[in-house]
Structure 1
Amino acid sequence: MKRLLLALLCLSQIAAPSFAQESFRVELGRDGETIGDMRPVFLKFESRPLPAISPAEVARRYQRLFDSSDEPEVRIDALNRLTNIRDRSGQDVGFSPAEEERVYREVIDSYESILSRGSFSGRLDELLYQMAKAHALTGQADQSIERLKQLVGLYPKSELVPEARFRIAESAFSAGDYSEAESVYLTLIDSVERGALKTKAGYMLGWSQFKQGPSAWERSAKTFLSVLDDFLPTPQSIREIDRSSVDTIDDTLRVLALMSARKDGPESLMAWLDDEPERHWAYLLFDRLGDYYAIRGEFDASVQANRAFVRYSPNHPMNPLFMAQIAEVWERAGDRYRVREARANYVAMFESKYADLSGSDQQRWRQFSRGLADFYYEQGAAASADGAPEKSRQAFSTAAEYYEALANRSDTYGELLRLAGDARLQSGEYAEALSDFQKAAYEDATYQEADDAGWAAVVLLREGVDGKSQAPEFRPDLAALSLESSRFEEHFPEDSRLPGLTADLASRWYAAAGNAERALEYGEKTVVNGRASPSERYAGWLTIAKVRQQQGEYELAERSWNHVLDLLSENKINGQEAEAGASVRQQLATAIYRQGEQAAANGSVASAVDHFKRVGAALPNSEIAIRGRYDAANTLLKASELTAAITELRLFRQDFPEHPLAEEVSAKLVHAYVASDRPASAALELLDAAEEAENSWPLKLRAAALFHQAGDTANRNGVYREYLAAHTSADTADQHIQMQTMRHRLLENDTNSLKLQQDLVDRELASQWHSEDTLAWASRSSLALGARAAASFAGIALTHPLPESLDRKQRALALARQRFVDAEKLGGEAVRSESLYRRAELYRVLARDLMASSVPADLNELETMQYQMLLEEEAFPFEEKAIRLHSENHQRVTSRGYDAWIGKSLEVLAELNPGRYDRSVRWMTWTLETNDDAG
C-alpha cells in the first residue's frame, strides 16, 4: 500500500541544497472520470546552479534595468535573466505572476521584431525558448509549441532542445495525440544522457503509451518499470528519495497497479518483472496492486496480490508486512474469521524466522499471537459453557500452543506460560499443563504470581493421583506429587498453603501408600509450621498419632492424640463432624491400653495396671475402658498378686455386672481364691456362679470338691445330697464312682443313714462300672445293712402261734443273709470271713431261738416232751448249717490266714463242738515258700 513507500520516506533525512536552484513547474492535470482521462501528476524541471550571490539582489537589479531601458534587446535580455534566476533559485524573485504576464505581453512584439530583424546580439535558441515561454504564459499554446519546434529544427545541437522536445511531447499529450507524444518522448530519451529530464521523459512516455489503450499497456508497463529503475537504482535509494519525486514514483506505481488489475492481476506483474533480474522495489508494485483492489472492495483479489508477492519473493524482508496486510484487508472487509486465519498464517509463517524479523514485525508477531491465544481461550470457555466438550478441548489446546510459542519471545514469560498451563489443563493435556505451570513458576524470576503457578502444578499432580485428572500419558504417583511439593516448598517457603499441602501429603502417605516414615515427615512439617491453621495442625497431628500408633510407639501416640483432642475442643475444624471427638478419644484410649499391654508383656505389673486403669479417664464407660479394668485385674492375677487381683475382680463385677466379661470374673476369682489357699471362698463363688449357669452341676460339683478340700463338710454334704436327689442313675463310669463317693462321704458323717447305705449297695450292685473303692464302700455298707437286719432278726421272738412268728423270723433271716451275701459279692475275700461268720450266726441264733421257744400251755407233759423233741429236730439242721459255715470260715486260715472273724468262728465252734474245737490253740499264720518242706 502507499504507506509502505511513505513510511520509508519518513526515514530519510533530505537536506536542502546550500545554493538556490532555478526551476519552474508545469501541471499536467489530474485523474479524470475514466482511465482515458487519467493524467500524470506534474513534472518539475531544474537548470544549472547559480553563482553564490543573492538571487533577490540580482533579480532586483535586472528588474530595475528592464523597467528603465527603452531598448528591446536590453529589456528582453533583462527579462530572460530574471526568469533564469527565478527558475534556478526556486525563489519568488523578480516580477510577480500577474506582473510577469503583463510584462510578457509587452515584450512579445519586441521578440517578434528582434527575430524578424535578425539583429539579436544574444543566442537565438534562447530567444526562441523565451518566446515560447512568453506565448505559454500569455495563453498562446500553439504559438509556444511552434517556437519550440523552430528551436528544435533550427538549433538541434542547442542545450535547450531536450527541454523543447519535452514540452512539444507534453503538448501532444495534452492534445490527446498520445502516439505523437510517445514518438517525441522516445526521440528525447534517445538523445539525452541519463538524468532527471530523461527520467521524467520516460515517465511521460509511459503515460503516453498507457493512454493509447490496453494494446499498448505492455509497452507502457516496460516503460514505467524503467522509470522506477531510474528513480530507485539501489535498495538504499528507496530511503533517500527526494521529496519532489515522491508523487511521481507513487503515480508510476499507481498506473502499473491499475494496468495489472485490468489484465491478469499479480500474474501480469510477475510477467512484466520476469524480463529482468529481481528488482528490489518490486514489493512496492504488489503493495500498490493490493491497495488498489482493497479500495475497490475486491478483498479476495487484494489478498491474492499480497500472497503473490510472498510467492514471487519468498525470502524478501518485506514479506511480514505483506502477510500482515492480508489480515488488514480482511479486517477492512469485516470478515473476522479470515482476519484470524490471516494472523494465524502470519504467526505460523514467521515463528521459525522470528529472530530474522525486524523489531516492528516481531512486535506484530507477538500481538497477533496474543490475540489468537486469547480468542481461542475465550472460545474454549464458551464451548465448555455450551456443553460442547470436544470443541472446548480443541480451542483450549490451540490457545495453549499460541501462549507457549509467545512466552519464549515475551517479557511476560511466566504469565503466558501460566495461561498456557491453564488452557492445557482445560483441554485435558495434563502433562503439557504441568510442564507449563512448572516453567512459569521456576523459570521466570520476575513473574509476580510464580507461587500460584507452582501451586497449580501441585494441584494438578494431586488431582492426577486422585484420578480426577488422568490421561494415558499422565498418571502421576504420590512420589511425583511429593517431589513437586518439595520443589514448591523450596522456592516458596513462606507460602500460606504449605501447611495444608504437607498435611494432605501426610495423610496420603499414611492411608494410600502405607509409608509411615514419609507420613510422619510431612505430619511433623505441618505441626511445626507457624502458618498452619487449626484444621491443618489437626490433620498433621492426626496423621502423626496414627503413625505412632501403627509403629507401636503408644506413649508418643497418646501425646499426639491429646494434641488432636485439644484442637478439636478449642477450634471448629472444617470437615469434622461432632462424632470426630469420640473417634479420637477412642484412639487415645487404645494408645493407653496398648501401653498397658506392652508394660504387662515386659513384666512391669504396676505400670501395666496403671495404664489399664487410665483408659477409663480417656474414654469413660467405653468398651475399651471396661476391658482395661478387666485386664488390670488379669495382670495382677497373672503376677500372683492375688489379694489385689481379687479386689479388682470383685470391683469390676460390681461396676459392670451386665458386661459379658463379668461372666468370666467368677472363674478368675475361683482361681485366685484357690491359688491363695481359700478353697471355701472359691467354692462359694462357684455356687454363686452356678445360680446363673444353665448347667450348674459342674460348678456345684467343683464347689463341693473345694468344700471338701476346705473341710467344710456341711456345705459339701449339702451339695452331695442335692446332686444325689437330682440324679437317679449314672450315665458314665466316672459319674457312678462320683456318686458312690458322695454316698460314702455322707455316710462318714451319718453312719446310721439306712437309705444311704441301701443306695450305696443297690447302685453298686446294679452298676456295670466299679472301682476298688466303690466295691469296698458298698461291701461295708452291705455288711452294715446285714448286721442291722441280723439284729432285727435276732429280736423277733418265736411265740405262739409259732408258724407265724417263725415265718417272720425266717424272712428276716433271708434279708440279713442276702445282705451278707451281697457284701461278699461286692467285697470278695476282704469281707468273706465276716460274711461267713455273720451268716453262720444267723443260723445258730435261729436254732437257739427255736430250742428256746415256749411250749404251748395246753400240752401235757408227754406232748410237751414230744414238742420239744420236735423243736430239736427243727433246730438241729440250722445248728448244723451254722457249724458248717463257721467251719468253712475256720478252713480259710490255710488260704487267707487268721483274722478276727475267723477267730470268732472258732469261738462259736468251741462252744458248739467243744470236743473238737475247745482246746488251747495258738493260731499262727505263715506263708508257704517255694523251698519249704512243710506239707
Structure 2
Amino acid sequence: MFQLGDYGQARKVAQRSLEGKTGLDEKGQRVSWAVAAHAAFELADYADAEAGYNKLLQLSAGDKAGQETIREKLAAAIYQQGRILSEKGEAAAAAQHYLRVGRVVPDASIRTTAEYDGAASLITAGRWKMAAEVLEGFRQRYPKHELTIDVERKLALAYLQNGQPLEAAVVFERVAVAPLATEVQQQAAWQAAELYQKAGSDKRAVSAFKRYVKRFPQPLEPAMEARQQLVELYQRQQEPAKRDYWLRQIVAVERKAGAAGSERSRYLAAQAALRLAEPEYTAFVKIPLKRPLARSLKRKKRQMQRAIKAYDLAAGFAQADVTTLATFRLAEIYRLFGESLMTSERPAGLSAEELEQYELLLEEQAYPFEEKAIEAHELNARRAAQGVYDDWVRQSFSQLAQLNPARYAKQEQGEREFNEMR
C-alpha cells in the first residue's frame, strides 16, 4: 500500500500490525515502523514521523548503512516541524525545531540549512543574543560555506541589536575583506571604524580608519571623511603631531583632487588649512621685537611669511566662513607687525635727536603694513554687500573704524543700526 502511494491506509495497517496480539519478529517490526514513519512523513505528520524514526533507529542498531538513511529522514522530520511553525509566523518556536536538528543528528546533511534558518527565525523573533550564538557557531563550523557572508551580515545585525558594538565591528571588518563587491567592502569597512569609535575604542578606530583610507582612496569624499575622523581621534588622544599629519593630508589630497573634489571635501580642506594656520599666527604674535632688533626682526618676518602663506592657502579653498576668518587674520598680521615695529625695543645710547630720527624711520617702515592691513580689512568688509556678514566681517569693520576713523567710524555706526534692525 505504501508503494502504491496509499499512505493513510499503509500507516493504519502498519500501526495495527504493531499493536497486534501476535508479536512480530524484529524484521517485521522494522518493516512496520519504517512504513509507519515514512507514511507519517508523506502525510506531513512530522512529529509522528520523528517518533517512528527514533524507534526505527533503536531496532536498526546493527545496520550502519540503514541507520544513516534513517537519521537523514529523522533530521528532515525535525526540520519540517520548524518550517510549518515558521509559515504560521511562530518564529521562536520554529527556531527551537531548526536547532534541534544539530543536537539530535549532528552530522545531518540538512544541518547547515537548519542552523541558518534557526538563526534567521531567532532574528525575526528578536532573540538577538541567541541568534548571535547560533551564527557564531555556524561561522566557526562552516567557514567556507556559501552562506557564510550572509551569516556574517546577520551576525553583525544581531550584535548591534544586542548592544555589542565592538563585536559587530569585528564582524564588519571580516566582511570588508571578504570576496564581495567593492562598495559592499567599503561600506563594511566604514561601519567597522565607526562602531569602534562609538564604542570608545579609539585605538581600534584609528587603525580601522587608516585601513579604510589605504584601501578605498576613491570615492574621494568618504575617504576625506575618514581622514577627518582620524584628525578628531588624534585630537581626543592629545597627539598633535599625528593630528597635524592628517590635517596636512586632507589639504594635500584636495589640492590634487581636481574635478574629483566636492563641496564637502573642499570645506574639510579649508577647515584643515585653517587649523594648521592658527599655530603659525600664534607663533608670529608671540615673537617680540627686542634688541638686537635685526635678529628678532628677521625671526618675526620669517614667521609672518609662514602665517601669511598658511592663511592664503586656507582662503584659496573659497569657503565663505573660512575665507572671512583668514582674511581677518591676514589683516591683523600686517597691523600687528606695524605695531610691533612702533613698540619695538629702542637701541641703547641714542641721543634725543637720534631717537627722534630712529622713530621717524620706524614710522616709515610701519606705514606700508598699516596700509596692507586696511586693504585686507576692506576686502572683508566688501563681502557684506555680497551677503556674507559673519563675526569676522563685523570685526573687520571694527578694526577699520580704528585704523581709518574718518572714513569708517560713521559706517560702523550705520552697521550697528543695521544689526539692531535685523
* TM norm. shorter chain > 0.5: yes
Name 2:166's counterpart in structure 1: 683
Name 1:579's counterpart in structure 2: 65
Q: Partner letter of residue 823 of structure 1?
A: A
Name 1:730's counterpart in structure 2: 217
Name 2:316's counterpart in structure 1: 825
Q: Partner letter of residue 878 of structure 1?
A: F
Deviation of the 1:882 alpha carbon? 0.8
Q: Report the Cα distance in structure 1 between the residues aligned to 2:153 and 2:209, rounded to whole angstroms.
A: 25
Q: Report the Cα distance in structure 1 between the residues aligned to 2:388 and 2:119, rounded to whole angstroms.
A: 63
Q: Report the Cα distance in structure 2 between the residues aligned to 1:623 and 1:814, rounded to whole angstroms.
A: 75
Pairing 1:78-93 to 2, within 5 Å after superposition: none
Pairing 1:605-616 to 2, within 5 Å after superposition: 605-616=91-102
Q: Are 1:839 and 2:341 an aligned pair? A: no
Name 1:758's counterpart in structure 2: 248
Q: Partner letter of residue 132 of structure 2?
A: L
Q: Are 1:598 and 2:90 an aligned pair? A: no
Change (3 A) 1:534 1:693: farther
Name 1:798's counterpart in structure 2: 289
Match of 1:902 among 376, 382, 393: 393
Q: Are 1:706 and 2:189 an aligned pair? A: no
Name 2:182's counterpart in structure 1: none
Could you tell me whether the CA contact under 8 Å between 1:823 and 1:835 is conserved in 2?
yes
Q: Report the Cα distance in structure 2 between the residues aligned to 1:646 and 1:655, rounded to whole angstroms.
A: 14
Deviation of the 1:653 alpha carbon? 3.6
Pairing 1:298-313 to 2, within 5 Å after superposition: none
Q: Report the Cα distance in structure 2 between the residues aligned to 1:750 and 1:611, rounded to whole angstroms.
A: 50
Could you tell me whether the CA contact under 8 Å between 2:10 and 2:39 is conserved in 1?
no
Q: Report the TM-score when normalising by structure 1.
A: 0.38
- Answer with 1 or 2: which has the greater Rg: 1
Structure 1 residue runs without a partner (length 5+): 1-501, 510-514, 927-935
Deviation of the 1:843 alpha carbon? 0.9
Could you tell me whether the CA contact under 8 Å between 1:599 and 1:605 is conserved in 2?
yes
Q: Partner letter of residue 562 of structure 1?
A: N
Q: Report the Cα distance in structure 2 between the residues aligned to 1:689 and 1:623, rounded to whole angstroms.
A: 29
Q: Report the Cα distance in structure 1 between the residues aligned to 2:384 and 2:132, rounded to whole angstroms.
A: 64
Match of 2:132 among 649, 659, 667: 649
Deviation of the 1:792 alpha carbon? 0.8
Deviation of the 1:559 alpha carbon? 3.9
Q: Partner letter of residue 286 of structure 2?
A: G
Q: Are 1:542 and 2:34 an aligned pair? A: yes
Could you tell me whether the CA contact under 8 Å between 1:798 and 1:850 is conserved in 2?
yes
Q: Report the Cα distance in structure 2 between the residues aligned to 1:841 and 1:538, rounded to whole angstroms.
A: 100
Deviation of the 1:836 alpha carbon? 1.8
Deviation of the 1:657 alpha carbon? 3.8
Q: Report the Cα distance in structure 2 between the residues aligned to 1:526 and 1:747, rounded to whole angstroms.
A: 76
SS in 1 for 2:218: coil
By relative contact order (CA 8 Å, sep 6+), the higher-ranking structure is 2
Deviation of the 1:878 alpha carbon? 1.4
SS in 2 for 1:600: helix
Q: Are 1:812 and 2:295 an aligned pair? A: no
Pairing 1:825-904 to 2, within 5 Å after superposition: 825-857=316-348, 863-896=354-387, 898-904=389-395
Q: Report the Cα distance in structure 1 between the residues aligned to 2:364 and 2:207, rounded to whole angstroms.
A: 54
Change (3 A) 1:849 1:706: same
Change (3 A) 1:785 1:694: closer
SS in 2 for 1:893: helix
Give per-residue Cα distances to partners, 1:98-138, cap 9 Å, x unaligned: xxxxxxxxxxxxxxxxxxxxxxxxxxxxxxxxxxxxxxxxx
Q: Report the Cα distance in structure 2 between the residues aligned to 1:669 and 1:736, rounded to whole angstroms.
A: 26
Match of 1:555 among 37, 47, 53: 47
Name 1:632's counterpart in structure 2: 118
Change (3 A) 1:773 1:556: same
Q: Partner letter of residue 344 of structure 2?
A: S
Change (3 A) 1:618 1:797: closer
Change (3 A) 1:607 1:654: closer
Structure 2 residue runs without a partner (length 5+): 179-184
Change (3 A) 1:659 1:865: same
Change (3 A) 1:894 1:617: closer
Name 2:276's counterpart in structure 1: 785
Deviation of the 1:857 alpha carbon? 3.9
Q: Report the Cα distance in structure 2 between the residues aligned to 1:742 and 1:760, rounded to whole angstroms.
A: 11
Q: Report the Cα distance in structure 2 between the residues aligned to 1:551 and 1:765, rounded to whole angstroms.
A: 73
What do you get for the CA RMSD once the two structures are aligned?
A: 3.8
Deviation of the 1:588 alpha carbon? 1.0
Pairing 1:335-350 to 2, within 5 Å after superposition: none
Q: Report the Cα distance in structure 1 between the residues aligned to 2:386 and 2:139, rounded to whole angstroms.
A: 70
Give per-residue Cα distances to partners, 1:332-365, cap 9 Å, x unaligned: xxxxxxxxxxxxxxxxxxxxxxxxxxxxxxxxxx
Could you tell me whether the CA contact under 8 Å between 1:599 and 1:608 is conserved in 2?
yes
Once structures 1 and 2 are overlaid, which stretch shifts more, 845-854 or 520-529?
Answer: 520-529
Pairing 1:173-184 to 2, within 5 Å after superposition: none
Q: Partner letter of residue 252 of structure 2?
A: D
Deviation of the 1:795 alpha carbon? 1.9
Match of 1:775 among 266, 286, 299: 266
Could you tell me whether the CA contact under 8 Å between 1:743 and 1:760 is conserved in 2?
no
Q: Report the Cα distance in structure 1 between the residues aligned to 2:205 and 2:171, rounded to whole angstroms.
A: 16
Give per-residue Cα distances to partners, 1:763-809, cap 9 Å, x unaligned: 43343444444433432332333232111112223345545443332
Q: Partner letter of residue 764 of structure 1?
A: E
Deviation of the 1:591 alpha carbon? 1.0
Deviation of the 1:693 alpha carbon? 7.5
Name 2:203's counterpart in structure 1: 718
Q: Report the Cα distance in structure 2 between the residues aligned to 1:723 and 1:556, rounded to whole angstroms.
A: 53
Pairing 1:107-256 to 2, within 5 Å after superposition: none
SS in 1 for 2:251: helix
Name 2:408's counterpart in structure 1: 917
SS in 2 for 1:921: helix
Q: Which has the higher helix share?
A: 2
Deviation of the 1:742 alpha carbon? 1.3
Pairing 1:44-55 to 2, within 5 Å after superposition: none
Could you tell me whether the CA contact under 8 Å between 1:833 and 1:889 is conserved in 2?
yes
Q: Report the TM-score when normalising by structure 2.
A: 0.77
Deviation of the 1:898 alpha carbon? 3.9
Could you tell me whether the CA contact under 8 Å between 2:314 and 2:326 is conserved in 1?
yes
Could you tell me whether the CA contact under 8 Å between 2:193 and 2:204 is conserved in 1?
yes
Name 1:516's counterpart in structure 2: 5
Q: Report the Cα distance in structure 1 between the residues aligned to 2:8 and 2:70, rounded to whole angstroms.
A: 18
Q: Partner letter of residue 854 of structure 1?
A: E
Pairing 1:176-575 to 2, within 5 Å after superposition: 506=2, 509=3, 516-517=5-6, 528=16, 534-539=26-31, 541-543=33-35, 545-546=37-38, 548-550=40-42, 552-569=44-61
Q: Report the Cα distance in structure 2 between the residues aligned to 1:603 and 1:863, rounded to whole angstroms.
A: 101
Q: Partner letter of residue 297 of structure 2?
A: L
Could you tell me whether the CA contact under 8 Å between 2:82 and 2:98 is conserved in 1?
yes
Match of 1:658 among 141, 149, 164: 141
SS in 2 for 1:599: helix
Q: Partner letter of residue 122 of structure 2?
A: L
SS in 2 for 1:826: coil
Change (3 A) 1:733 1:655: closer
Change (3 A) 1:765 1:895: same
Could you tell me whether the CA contact under 8 Å between 2:82 and 2:94 is conserved in 1?
yes
Could you tell me whether the CA contact under 8 Å between 1:545 and 1:557 is conserved in 2?
yes
Change (3 A) 1:764 1:538: same
Q: Report the Cα distance in structure 2 between the residues aligned to 1:870 and 1:690, rounded to whole angstroms.
A: 67
Give per-residue Cα distances to partners, 1:562-616, cap 9 Å, x unaligned: 34324324xx7xxxx4321132122112111111112112222344233224334
Give per-residue Cα distances to partners, 1:302-349, cap 9 Å, x unaligned: xxxxxxxxxxxxxxxxxxxxxxxxxxxxxxxxxxxxxxxxxxxxxxxx
Change (3 A) 1:812 1:550: farther
Q: Report the Cα distance in structure 1 between the residues aligned to 2:388 and 2:73, rounded to whole angstroms.
A: 82
Could you tell me whether the CA contact under 8 Å between 1:792 and 1:812 is conserved in 2?
yes
